[in-house]
Structure 1
Amino acid sequence: MTIDIPEPQALGTPITHSAIFIVANVNPGSEAAEKVKGWCGDIAGLVRSVGKRVPSGNLSCICGFSSGAWDRLFDGPRPAALHDFREFGVEGRLAVSTPGDLLLHIRAEQMDLCFELATQLMSALDGAVTVTDEVQGFRYFDMRSIIGFVDGTENPVGRKAVDFTIVGDEDPSFSGGSYVLVQKYLHNMTAWNQLSVEAQEKVIGRTKLSDIELDDEAKPSNSHSALTTITKDGEEVKILRDNMPFGRPGAGEFGTYFIGYARSPEPLEQMLENMFVGKPPGNYDRLLDFSTAVTGTLFFVPSADLLDELAER
């Protein structure tokens, strides 16, 4: 069966210079829940109102809901593959699960646009939610992460991006939607910078300057690129990354906000299992010797059409 896919939210927006990531919990009580539901129908209008002030700013906002929030807020069917974030790894090297009912992924070429939209969205939710995490991200030189390597090189584009990230007729009630997993990583830059460039390249599996993948003979099996390449039935399954660096140099905080979109949570979770448990077990991602995940939550992103409709559910 083939169905017409509803309009997705703005997943396909090119990576911008600025972003704000907000994770929040819905406060107890029916009044808070009803306020959040009604707010769903206001998001698109707020994006238009703020974005119109700088048309070239490419302002967008993606809103997602966790499994628990979906059950609490909305009647009727639920996304087939939506569940709580699953932890992977062992003590000291763990993909942790942290609270979060709502995700806002706000992007623009200018931080003032992101800031204004975040202000308007959160003002409309006043008293209904409690923010558990907020990160302001920025583009770092030529799409590099804080550790100096280009990020997101293997992102799918065009039709492939849609095929790998947008739900289709496998879940008709939620076609046009997507699953998104977020994690905040903090990096030990002192230890990382003590490595030679060659050693860093073996950790990542790519050259640092030119961003070329190392040959299979030279790339360790526990390199980041080796373990985050996911295959199923002999075919590579891609996710769409929109990671952003963040940090506070005065506080010694340097990080990466990982955000990955996929048609199903399966490739996202397989990637985390490979990284934190290892493939085979014990052969874990060497990057985790320098990076620590301090948050982790899974959300479903409804289509733009369904997001408007959720106000009435």
Structure 2
Amino acid sequence: MNSSPQNVLDYHGTHTIFLVWNFKEHMDIKAGFQHICALVINLNNSASLRFPDSGVSCVMGIGHDAWLALELPTPLPRELESFQAIEGDKHRAVSTKGDLHFHLRGDTAGSCYDMAADLSAILLPIADCMEEVHGFRYWDGRSILGFVDGTENPHGPQQRAYFGLVGAEDPAYQGGSYLFVQKYIHDLRAFKALSLEEQEKVFGRSKQNDIEMPDAVKPANSHTAVANIGDDFKIIRDNMPFGNMATNEMGTYFIAYASTFATVKKMLTNMFVGSPPGNYDRLLDFSTPQTGTLFFAPTLTLLKQIADGEIPSLAETPAD
């Protein structure tokens, strides 16, 4: 049976809910996780039938510690690890615990809500929800800061599959994807106090038309200069803005799918440490990460085997 990836390559989703769950201690989590795997498959099958043009999907990622606790196949995906904080001279990419991550997408908030409710009904007895972020598409794909987000994403099915899915280099997990998330809170007041010219220098792009500055003009510490590590090293960003007026939490939920976590780690190191060291991403003066967790999104084929109570040995793990 060929491996079928989870829906990590889709462009859809004007509404999202991001959920991070941690298993409770001293609980029998395997049976509940088996039900969750079956539910994820069911939610996606149902969505493709009921909402074929609405991009409704549920993607589940599994953290390193949860993978071991659940006794999933070993060896693990080659680069699945507990994310270690990245320390710069001024800014820090924090590390936070996460056992399961759910990325719920749809063109209506109601479809995301229903999926979240179904997942929670199974998880609440055995896990705690540590993070819930409701994202939305802001105008023409902009972040709350007003600049277009995700311009450097790969486009087209072949490129997105190449950069987003594990390939033959790790055949036991081919078709899976490394999933990294950070919840950023923006200091909107400080950013809006900058002139338009200074705001554009922070990003290295024009604000209105999303045109990248020429290299001769672009500041070396601008976001595009630091975060872009070359056309051969790309990730699929599915970032979403969020906002809460009552708590004044305005931010971006950064979510990256990648064929290799090494690419994400290189980007983060450039941003927080700097390349060369000290030349950190100036955007971090206005955006602070509250979370940072690495997950692995296995194929639907593997989830189906787990749901059926047939956790495979490594030799049996499906590969294309």
Give TM class, smaller chain: over 0.9
Contact 1:27 1:33 in 2 (8 A): no
The more displaced of 293-302 and 6-15 is 6-15
Alignment of 1:172-187 (within 5 A): 172-187=171-186
Q: Deviations for 1:123-178, whole angstroms, at most 9, x for unmatched residues? A: 12230111111100000000000000000011112201101111111111111100
- What SS class does the counterpart of residue 251 from structure 1 fall into? coil
CA distance in 1, matches of 2:125, 2:186: 34
Contact 2:242 2:253 in 1 (8 A): yes
Is 1:48 aligned to 2:45, yes or no? Answer: yes
1:131 alignment partner, one of 129, 132, 135: 129
- What SS class does the counterpart of residue 85 from structure 1 fall into? coil
CA distance in 2, matches of 1:222, 1:5: 44
- What SS class does the counterpart of residue 220 from structure 1 fall into? coil
- What SS class does the counterpart of residue 246 from structure 2 fall into? helix
CA distance in 2, matches of 1:201, 1:288: 14
Cα RMSD after superposing both structures: 1.6
Which residue in the other structure is 2:316 paired with?
Answer: none
Which residue in the other structure is 2:205 paired with?
Answer: 206
Matched-pair identity in %: 45
Unmatched tracts of structure 2, length 5 or more: 312-320
Q: 1:258 to 1:126 in 2, by over 3 A?
A: same
Alignment of 1:297-308 (within 5 A): 297-308=293-304
AA at the equivalent of 1:9: Q
CA distance in 1, matches of 2:115, 2:137: 19
2:291 alignment partner, one of 279, 282, 295: 295
Q: Aligned-pair distance for 1:295?
A: 0.4
CA distance in 1, matches of 2:306, 2:64: 15
Which residue in the other structure is 2:86 paired with?
Answer: 88
AA at the equivalent of 2:97: P
State the aligned residue count.
307
Contact 1:26 1:33 in 2 (8 A): no
Q: Deviations for 1:89-147, whole angstroms, at most 9, x for unmatched residues? A: 24751100011100000000001100011101111223011111110000000000000
CA distance in 2, matches of 1:242, 1:121: 21
1:25 alignment partner, one of 14, 22, 37: 22
- What SS class does the counterpart of residue 12 from structure 1 fall into? coil
AA at the equivalent of 2:240: M
Is 1:59 aligned to 2:45, yes or no? Answer: no
Q: Aligned-pair distance for 1:52?
A: 4.4
AA at the equivalent of 2:219: P
CA distance in 2, matches of 1:25, 1:218: 46
- What SS class does the counterpart of residue 232 from structure 2 fall into? strand
Which residue in the other structure is 1:255 paired with?
Answer: 251
Which residue in the other structure is 1:217 paired with?
Answer: 216
Q: Aligned-pair distance for 1:50?
A: 5.4
Contact 1:156 1:238 in 2 (8 A): yes
Q: Aligned-pair distance for 1:236?
A: 2.8
1:282 alignment partner, one of 268, 278, 281: 278
CA distance in 2, matches of 1:146, 1:298: 24
The more displaced of 125-134 and 177-186 is 125-134
Contact 1:186 1:291 in 2 (8 A): yes
Q: Deviations for 1:4-26, whole angstroms, at most 9, x for unmatched residues? A: 96211001211421000000111
Q: Deviations for 1:180-229, whole angstroms, at most 9, x for unmatched residues? A: 11000000000000011111111001110000110001101100001111
Q: 1:38 to 1:251 in 2, by over 3 A?
A: closer
Contact 1:229 1:236 in 2 (8 A): no
Which residue in the other structure is 1:71 paired with?
Answer: 68
Which residue in the other structure is 2:317 paired with?
Answer: none
Is 1:150 aligned to 2:141, yes or no? Answer: no
Contact 2:43 2:57 in 1 (8 A): no
CA distance in 2, matches of 1:187, 1:133: 17
- What SS class does the counterpart of residue 292 from structure 1 fall into? strand
Q: 1:176 to 1:215 in 2, by over 3 A?
A: same
Unmatched tracts of structure 1, length 5 or more: none
CA distance in 2, matches of 1:295, 1:177: 23
AA at the equivalent of 1:307: L
Alignment of 1:96-135 (within 5 A): 96-135=94-133
Q: 1:223 to 1:91 in 2, by over 3 A?
A: closer
The more displaced of 98-107 and 245-254 is 245-254
